[in-house]
């Protein structure tokens, strides 16, 4: 397991819910600008894989948020229906435009104020906004106890440094989004979703190495 993935696994326990009777909530945010077009289908499939870890009678609500084009930033309703959300993602095409990560963070803060979000997953490859301003917004999420789990596509060192800082400020985690090895990240997403929805018991049902490593780490806590 790569260092970034191992680090991600070690920190996923931030998703633990104090009240297991409540639905877990996961905000799945995506950069849908034109640079992401080559791997958009892969991102859609990873989202679908994430839902496969959740039994129908388990409680995990997921909201899809994406930005693209000239100021377009939209969020779906909170849903448990995996098929409905997958269809929504399948209907989105990438369009040229600047990043709107600040709006993602602001939306997460507003939703978290209404009801706790257990995790925010963000997948992107670029930053065209002021990094210090974004770090301030990430810090606000950290103070509210809303962790960011950031997946980077590509190897831009400036983007990596910023994404790692956002994750650190929120007590979340960073991992590289490697289009050539999607199985590892898909398994990790499934483990995150399983733990967010059902804690350790549901995570035990996952057979991937990532899930087992996560379970072993939680057992030491």
Per-residue pLDDT tens digits for 79-96: 776 666 677 777 788 899
Q: State yes or no: pLDDT of 163 exceeds 80.
A: yes
Angle between helices 40-52 and 82-90 (to 10 degrees): 180
pLDDT confidence of 15, banded at 50, 70, 90? very low
- Which pTM does this prediction carry? 0.79
E-strand ranges in 32-181 read 60-68, 72-75, 119-124, 148-153, 173-177
* Strand 24-31 with 60-68, pairing: parallel
Band (67; pLDDT cuts 50, 70, 90): very high
Rounded to whole angstroms, the Cα distance separating 172 from 7 reads: 10
Closest C-alpha to 124, from 146, 91, 102 = 102
The one-character DSSP state at 154 is S
Residue with tokens 């609500």: 61
Predicted confidence band at 218 (pLDDT cuts at 50, 70, 90)? very low
Mean pLDDT of the 45-71 span: 73
Ranking 115-124, 134-143, 180-189 by mean pLDDT, the lowest is: 180-189
pLDDT bin (cut points 50, 70, 90) of residue 212 is low
Residue 166, CA distances (Å) to 35, 46, 62, 102 in order: 21, 22, 21, 11
pLDDT beyond 70 at 145:
yes
CA distance 68 to 32: 5
User: Residue 191: enclosing H or E segment and its boundaries?
Assistant: helix 182-203
pLDDT at 21: 44
**Over the chain, what is the mean pLDDT?**
76
């Amino acid at each position: 397991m790569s260092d970034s993935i191992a680090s991600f696994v070690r920190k996923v326990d931030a998703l633990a819910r104090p009240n297991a009777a409540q639905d877990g909530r996961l905000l799945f945010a995506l950069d849908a600008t034109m640079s992401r077009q080559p791997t958009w289908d892969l991102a859609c499939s990873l989202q679908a894989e994430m839902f496969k870890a959740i039994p129908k009678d388990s409680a995990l609500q997921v909201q899809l948020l994406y930005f693209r084009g000239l100021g377009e930033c939209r969020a779906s309703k909170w849903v448990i229906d995996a098929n409905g959300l997958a269809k929504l993602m399948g209907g989105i095409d990438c369009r040229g435009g600047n990043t709107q990560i600040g709006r993602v963070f602001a939306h997460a803060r507003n939703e978290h104020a209404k009801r706790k979000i257990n995790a925010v997953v963000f997948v992107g490859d670029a930053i065209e906004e002021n990094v210090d301003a974004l770090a301030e917004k990430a810090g606000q999420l950290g103070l509210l106890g809303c962790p960011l789990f950031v997946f980077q596509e590509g190897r831009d060192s400036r983007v990596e440094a910023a994404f790692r800082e956002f994750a650190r400020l929120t007590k979340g985690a960073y991992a590289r989004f490697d289009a050539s090895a999607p199985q590892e990240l898909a398994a990790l997403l499934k483990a995150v979703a399983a733990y967010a929805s059902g804690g350790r018991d549901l995570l035990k049902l996952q057979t991937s190495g990532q899930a087992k490593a996560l379970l072993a780490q939680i057992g030491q806590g």
